[in-house]
Amino acid sequence: MSKVIDFPTKNVSERILLNQVIERMNNLETLYGDLDKAHEILNELEKLASIREKEYDVTLVQYAKIVGGGRLDVDMLQYSQNTKITKDPDSEEFIIEWGGTPSED
């Protein structure tokens, strides 16, 4: 009578799964590294945008001194850090107000 040898499916499956786990770990490590880099870039861009908004506000105030704050186009207020948008509870309309005053330096 011949001897029956079991096919080593457990060992093969274990090795395959281990390789898949390691591969997925490496993929996630790379992905999280890329996310960290993206967050750093985003943070730097937000800092730069804040600086540019402050510069914009200085120029906007200078312009408002010449033409008057009430004559500023609504589009000019979208990048200003001094713009406040509220909603009128009665009319449900949005109100855009500029907090910068032409007397500011």
More confident residue, 83 or 47: 47
Confidence of residue 86 (pLDDT cuts 50, 70, 90): confident
CA atoms of 103 and 68, how far apart (whole Å): 10
Is 3 domain-assigned? no
Give how many domains the chain has, as a whole number: 1
Is 2 domain-assigned? no
Is 4 domain-assigned? no
Q: What are phi and psi of 90, to 5 degrees?
A: -80, -50
Is 69 domain-assigned? yes
Tallying the residues shown for the chain, one arrives at 105
Highest mean pLDDT among 10-14, 56-60, 76-80: 56-60
CA atoms of 29 and 82, how far apart (whole Å): 42
* Segments forming the whole domain that contains residue 21: 9-98
Reported pTM = 0.64
